[in-house]
Amino acid sequence: MQWAFHDPRPDEMDRVSYGENSLTLAASGDSPANSSPLTCIAMDQAYQVEMNFEIEGDAEGAFLLYYNPKALVGIGFTGEKAKTYQYATTEEWASVPLEGKKVRGRITNDRNVITYHYSVDGGQTWRLHPTRMEVSGLNHNVFGGFLSLKVGICSLGEGSVTLSDFTYQAL
């Protein structure tokens, strides 16, 4: 998979640093809609993606399915809760408590039905996020642009997020 910034700005790569089998992304923006997330194309109609998030400072790591700044869904990890993003807005009512600065996130896209899982023990045990989403309307017929719904990651707030152990599996 090849990652790229969705809406690159001239200094965007200054936010990225590489470690041993990891990538650290400095925070930018306060929501996925204004953060210029890193995205990659999913090649299958049904797939599962997982990644480790290590939150540093007052940052939030968000794991997304991203069409454009107005059309995205996902889950954000703050160290205190798992936030829910639906159609570019934060759905605070759907947030759940989640203590820990190290989280493994999972997004399953089963033919446009999205579920989220997260783990605070490195993937040994998983918690199902209570919100499921249907995303068939996140396409060029509704939002224009002839884009695709991509897997996305971003770092929000103040601080940074270290990302590691990304996996993609066709279902």
Q: Kindly report, residue by residue over 138-159, the tens digit of the pLDDT.
A: 766 666 666 788 999 999 999 9
pLDDT value of position 146: 63
pLDDT value of position 48: 98
Q: Alpha-carbon distance 161 to 15, whole Å?
A: 11
Domain span holding position 44: 4-170
pLDDT value of position 32: 92
3-state helix, strand, coil in the chain (%, to 5): 10, 55, 35
**CATH number, position 143:** 2.60.120.200
Give the count of domains, the chain.
Answer: 1
pLDDT beyond 60 at 1: no
Q: Region 32-61: what's the mean pLDDT? A: 94
pLDDT beyond 80 at 88: no
Q: Alpha-carbon distance 122 to 113, whole Å?
A: 25
- The DSSP 8-state label assigned to residue 93 in this structure reads G
Q: What's the mean per-residue pLDDT of the chain?
A: 89
pLDDT value of position 143: 63
pLDDT value of position 87: 81
If you average pLDDT over each of 39-43, 116-120, 139-143, which comes out highest? 116-120
Q: What is the pTM of this model?
A: 0.89
For the chain, how many residues are written?
171
Q: 100: Cβ–Cβ under 8 A, 6 or more apart, which residues?
A: 79, 120
The partner residues of 143 in beta bridges, in order of sequence, read none
CA atoms within 13 A of residue 9's CA, in its CB half-sphere:
11
